[in-house]
Homo-oligomer: A and B are copies of this chain.
Amino acid sequence: MKVVCLAGGVGGAKLAFGLMRVLPPEDLTVVVNTGDDFTHFGLRICPDLDTVTYTLAGLDNRETGWGLTGDSFTVLDTVAKLDGPAWFRLGDRDIATHLTRTGLLRQGKRLTDVTAHLTRAMGAGPTVLPMTDDPFATHVITEEGDLEFQDYFVRRRCEPRVERIVFASAETAKPTTEVLKALAAADAIIFAPSNPFVSIEPILILPGVRDLIAAKPAVAVSPIVGGQAIKGPAAKMLLELGLDVSPVGVAARYQGLITGFVMDEVDAALVATVEALGLQVRTSQSIMRTDADRESLARVCLDFVSTL
């Protein structure tokens, strides 16, 4: 069964890791949001691509949820001493990723090829694809004004109230040939438990993507569990955008694209409401603390989608 997993950062990376443990590497393609990407200090940084690649390569830092395990911070500590812009914490080996990426991009390589280079060099098995090679930047319009995503997410710690999300360059960005081919060849699509607004939506709005997904068996995993986001600002965003802070709010956003929805056991009382949206539902323990949790949730998704 050829599977495409749509992913943002940590939640997407964890489910992709679980899928990797079940599927042969050639049958798994992870399509990753690039709306969070930004240029900092002149370096091209792709937080979601890196989180997915580091996780698949077994190099992710599980304590912090970002960066590489056992990384050192000589560079950023020195930047701080030089009164430089040190608000975005980058480990030394993480910086090596960004230097290599930026160097290869400046040689004219596509982000898709650079990502293939990096995943190969790090030993990540499945195919990791950026959703697009084109400019695309998620902006969060807040009470404090228009913030680039990392500015909102890291520097302002998701504190300003969100009014709406805007995707700069979305009109001109195209999914890559590799993404379109992977979706067309897929037997199943799995939406990872990533932020629906800023991780999954950027992938979905690229031309052609929705139609390819709607033609396939597809399941989404709720990133909202018990009225809270597992990680990140998804719950706060749902609330501030006037939406239902529950799996129901997430499922409603994916209506017409998915046929199955996986939500946590703690939200069992909401199953009937999601089913009323015309979706089939599975409940499962969905918080992925251990490798076994990741693999178990991956099996639930794969079993489920194979019945659709």
Once the chains bind, are A96 and B121 in contact (CB under 8 Å)? Answer: no
Between A and B, 15 residue pairs with Cβ closer than 8 Å are: A41-B100, A41-B102, A42-B43, A42-B103, A42-B106, A75-B93, A78-B93, A82-B96, A82-B121, A83-B121, A84-B103, A84-B104, A85-B107, A92-B92, A95-B99
- How many copies of the chain does the oligomer comprise? 2
Residues of chain A from 242 to 301 with CB closer than 8 A to chain B in the complex = none
Once the chains bind, are B121 and A92 in contact (CB under 8 Å)? Answer: no
Closest 3 pairs (CB-CB, A-B):
A84-B100, A78-B96, A42-B42
Give A54-93 as 1s and 0s: 1 = Cβ < 8 Å from B's Cβ atoms. 0000000000000000001011111101111100000011
Once the chains bind, are A100 and B85 in contact (CB under 8 Å)? Answer: yes
A210 contacts B by Cβ under 8 Å:
no
Once the chains bind, are B92 and A79 in contact (CB under 8 Å)? Answer: no
Tell me what chain A mostly uses at the interface: helix, strand, loop, or mixed. Answer: helix
A161 contacts B by Cβ under 8 Å:
no
Once the chains bind, are B79 and A96 in contact (CB under 8 Å)? Answer: yes
Tell me the count of chain A residues lying within 8 A, CB to CB, of chain B.
Answer: 34
Once the chains bind, are A81 and B41 in contact (CB under 8 Å)? Answer: no
Residues of chain A from 81 to 134 with CB closer than 8 A to chain B in the complex = 81-85, 92-93, 95-97, 99-100, 102-104, 106-107, 117-118, 121-122
Using Cβ atoms and an 8 Å threshold, which residues of chain B touch A99? 41-43, 75, 79, 84, 95
Q: Known A84-B96, A118-B82; judge A106-B41 contact (CB<8 A).
A: yes
Using Cβ atoms and an 8 Å threshold, which residues of chain B touch A85? 100, 103-104, 107
> CA separation between A95 and B78, bound complex, in Å?
9
A positions within 8 Å CB-CB of B: 39-44, 72, 74-79, 81-85, 92-93, 95-97, 99-100, 102-104, 106-107, 117-118, 121-122
> CA separation between A192 and B117, bound complex, in Å?
45
> CA separation between A95 and B121, bound complex, in Å?
22
Once the chains bind, are A102 and B72 in contact (CB under 8 Å)? Answer: no
**Quick one: closest B residue to A97, CB to CB?**
B82
> CA separation between A41 and B102, bound complex, in Å?
5
> CA separation between A82 and B124, bound complex, in Å?
12
Once the chains bind, are B103 and A75 in contact (CB under 8 Å)? Answer: no
Scoring A42, A79, A99, A100 by chain B CB atoms within 10 A of each residue's CB, the highest score goes to A99
Once the chains bind, are B102 and A42 in contact (CB under 8 Å)? Answer: yes
Using Cβ atoms and an 8 Å threshold, which residues of chain B touch A104? 84-85
